[in-house]
C-alpha cells in the first residue's frame, strides 16, 4: 500500500476528472437537484423539529435561514421558508397528521437514497438481484442515521458558533482589527471540519461497500475544500448575474436549483476522487454481501464500468456465513443394477466362418476318396 504523497494526489485528481466525464456526473447532479427540490422542505422540517428540542425551534430556524441567505440570497431563502410553511402538518386531524408524518419522512430520506444510488454507480457497485424489501428498509434506516448526523453536526456548529461569538464580542473592545481576522479564520476552520465530517460519513455509510476510514478522509477533506471554494463561487455567480430575474416568478426556484446542481457536482466529484485515491493507494473497497461489482455505465451514454485491478470480491466472511446457513444440496442416489452373466470385456464368442466350413468339406471329400482307392488296390492284389 502506497503512502500519502502529492504525486498520488495528482494522479488521483487526473483519474477523478477522467471518471467525471466517463460517468456523466452532470446528469447525475441534475437528477439529484430534481429530487432535492422536493425533499428539501421535508428534510429541513425534520432537522428543525429534532434540533429544536435542544436550542429551540426559532433559534434553529433562524440559523438555517442565515446560512441559506449567505448561500443563495434573501429571495431564495424566503422561497424555502414558504416551502417549509406549506408542508407543515400542525393543526390537522390525527389521520392527516399520521399520513403527513409518514410522507414527510419518506420525502426527507429520498435525497439520501438518490445520493446512495449515484455513488454506487460512480464506484461501480450495484445491489444483487432479488435483494428484497429488507434492503430498501435498510437504506431508509441509513437515511435516518444521516439525518441524525446532520442534526448532531448542526448542534455542534451552533454551540461552537455561540461560544465563538460570545468570546469575540468581549475581545473586540481590546483588539478590534485582530479579533475580526482571527475569528473569521476560526469560523472557516470550524465550517471546514463540519463539512469534512459530513462528507466522510456520506462516503463511509451510503455506498454498498466496505472501506476503511483512513482511506476516506483524504477524499472527504478534498471535497470539503472544493465545497467551500464552490460555495463562494456559486454565491458570487448568483449575486452578480440576473439568473433570478430571467425566470420571473420562478426565479427563486431557479436559483435554488442552480445552487443544488453545482453543489451536487462537487459532491460527486469528491466521490470520484475518493474512489481514485483509494485504488491508486492500493486500498481495498469490498462490496457488501448483498452487492457486487457493476459493469454497466452509470447513466445511459456513459462509459461501461470495468472493475479495478485490485478490486476485491464481495465480503467473503458474510458470503461464507450465508453458505453455512444455506441447506446442503440434495444428493441423487441411484440404485446399482447388477446384470448377471456379464462377460469380460474384449472376449466375444464368434460364429464359424463359411470359408472354414467349405475347406473342411473339401478335405473330408479328399480323404474319403483316398480311402476308397486304397481298398480297391487291396482287392486287386488278392
CA separation for the pair 263, 238 (Å, rounded): 13
CA separation for the pair 136, 335 (Å, rounded): 48
Taking only the tens place, the pLDDT of each residue in 209-224 is 888 888 899 999 999 9
CA separation for the pair 76, 325 (Å, rounded): 55
Flag the least confident range among 15-24, 55-64, 221-230: 55-64
- Please tell me the predicted confidence (pLDDT) of residue 343: 46
- Please tell me the predicted confidence (pLDDT) of residue 83: 76
With a cut of 80, say whether residue 193 has pLDDT above it. Answer: yes
- Please tell me the predicted confidence (pLDDT) of residue 220: 92
With a cut of 80, say whether residue 68 has pLDDT above it. Answer: no
Give 264 or 43, the one with higher predicted confidence: 264
Residue with cell 466522510: 200
- Please tell me the predicted confidence (pLDDT) of residue 315: 55
Give mean pLDDT, residues 232-257.
76
CB 285 within 8 A of CB 210: yes
Based on its alpha-carbon atoms, the radius of gyration of the chain, rounded to whole angstroms, reads 40
CB 9 within 8 A of CB 218: yes
CB 48 within 8 A of CB 60: yes
Share the mean pLDDT of the chain.
74
- Please tell me the predicted confidence (pLDDT) of residue 58: 80
With CA atoms as reference, report the closest residue to 258 among 36, 24, 20, 19: 36
Give 105 or 361, the one with higher predicted confidence: 105
- Please tell me the predicted confidence (pLDDT) of residue 191: 82
- Please tell me the predicted confidence (pLDDT) of residue 97: 64
CB 258 within 8 A of CB 243: yes
Residues 6+ apart with CB under 8 A from 13: 273, 276
Taking only the tens place, the pLDDT of each residue in 263-292 is 899 999 999 999 999 888 888 888 887 778
CB 199 within 8 A of CB 223: yes
Taking only the tens place, the pLDDT of each residue in 90-113 is 555 566 667 777 777 777 778 888
Flag the least confident range among 190-194, 205-209, 243-247, 363-367: 363-367
Q: What is the Cα 309 distance to its own chain's centre?
A: 19
Binning pLDDT at 50, 70 and 90, where does residue 306 land?
low
SS3 181: helix
- Please tell me the predicted confidence (pLDDT) of residue 94: 63
Task: Give me the percent of the chain exceeding a pLDDT of 70.
Answer: 62
CB 219 within 8 A of CB 276: no
- Please tell me the predicted confidence (pLDDT) of residue 221: 93
Binning pLDDT at 50, 70 and 90, where does residue 344 land?
very low
- Please tell me the predicted confidence (pLDDT) of residue 375: 46
Give mean pLDDT, residues 168-195.
76
Return the top range by mean pLDDT from 43-47, 159-163, 310-314. Answer: 43-47
Give mean pLDDT, residues 357-381.
55
Give mean pLDDT, residues 186-213.
87
Residue with cell 476318396: 369
**CB-hemisphere CA count at 13 Å for 250?**
4
According to DSSP, residue 207 is labeled: S
With a cut of 50, say whether residue 347 has pLDDT above it. Answer: no
CA separation for the pair 174, 162 (Å, rounded): 20
Amino acid at each position: 500500500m502506497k503512502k500519502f504523497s502529492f504525486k498520488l494526489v495528482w494522479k488521483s485528481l487526473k483519474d477523478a476528472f477522467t471518471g467525471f466525464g466517463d460517468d456523466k456526473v452532470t446528469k447525475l447532479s441534475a437528477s439529484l437537484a430534481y429530487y432535492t427540490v422536493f425533499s428539501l422542505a421535508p428534510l429541513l422540517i425534520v432537522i428543525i423539529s429534532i434540533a429544536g428540542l435542544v436550542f429551540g425551534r426559532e433559534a434553529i430556524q433562524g440559523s438555517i435561514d442565515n446560512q441559506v441567505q449567505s448561500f443563495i440570497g434573501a429571495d431564495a431563502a424566503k422561497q424555502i421558508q414558504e416551502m417549509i410553511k406549506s408542508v407543515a402538518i400542525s393543526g390537522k386531524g390525527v389521520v392527516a397528521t399520521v399520513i403527513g408524518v409518514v410522507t414527510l419522512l419518506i420525502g426527507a430520506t429520498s435525497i439520501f437514497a438518490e445520493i446512495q444510488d449515484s455513488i454506487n454507480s460512480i464506484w461501480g457497485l450495484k445491489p444483487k438481484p432479488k435483494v428484497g424489501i429488507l434492503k430498501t428498509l435498510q437504506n431508509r434506516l441509513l437515511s435516518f442515521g444521516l439525518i441524525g448526523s446532520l442534526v448532531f453536526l448542526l448542534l455542534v456548529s451552533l454551540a461552537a458558533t455561540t461560544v465563538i461569538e460570545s468570546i469575540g464580542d468581549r475581545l473586540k473592545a481590546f483588539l478590534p482589527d485582530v479579533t475580526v481576522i482571527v475569528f473569521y479564520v476560526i469560523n472557516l476552520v470550524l465550517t471546514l471540519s463540519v463539512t469534512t465530517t459530513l462528507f466522510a460519513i456520506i462516503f463511509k455509510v451510503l455506498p454498498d461497500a466496505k472501506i476503511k476510514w483512513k482511506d476516506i478522509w483524504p477524499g472527504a477533506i478534498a471535497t470539503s475544500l472544493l465545497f467551500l471554494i464552490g460555495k463562494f463561487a456559486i454565491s458570487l455567480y448568483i449575486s452578480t448575474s440576473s439568473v433570478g430575474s430571467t425566470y420571473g416568478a420562478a426565479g427563486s426556484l431557479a436559483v435554488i436549483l442552480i445552487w443544488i446542481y453545482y453543489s451536487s457536482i462537487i459532491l460527486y466529484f469528491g466521490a470520484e476522487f475518493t474512489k481514485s485515491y483509494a485504488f491508486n493507494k492500493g486500498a481495498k473497497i469490498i462490496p457488501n454481501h448483498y452487492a457486487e461489482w457493476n459493469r454497466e455505465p452509470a447513466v445511459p451514454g456513459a462509459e461501461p464500468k470495468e472493475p479495478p485491478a485490485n478490486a476485491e470480491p464481495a465480503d467473503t466472511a458474510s458470503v461464507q456465513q450465508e453458505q453455512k446457513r444455506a441447506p446442503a444440496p440434495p444428493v441423487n442416489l441411484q440404485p446399482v443394477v447388477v446384470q448377471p452373466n456379464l462377460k469380460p470385456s474384449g472376449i466375444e464368442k464368434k460364429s464359424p466362418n463359411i470359408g472354414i466350413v467349405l475347406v473342411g468339406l473339401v478335405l473330408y471329400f479328399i480323404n474319403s476318396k483316398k480311402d476308397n482307392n486304397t481298398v480297391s488296390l487291396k482287392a486287386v492284389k488278392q
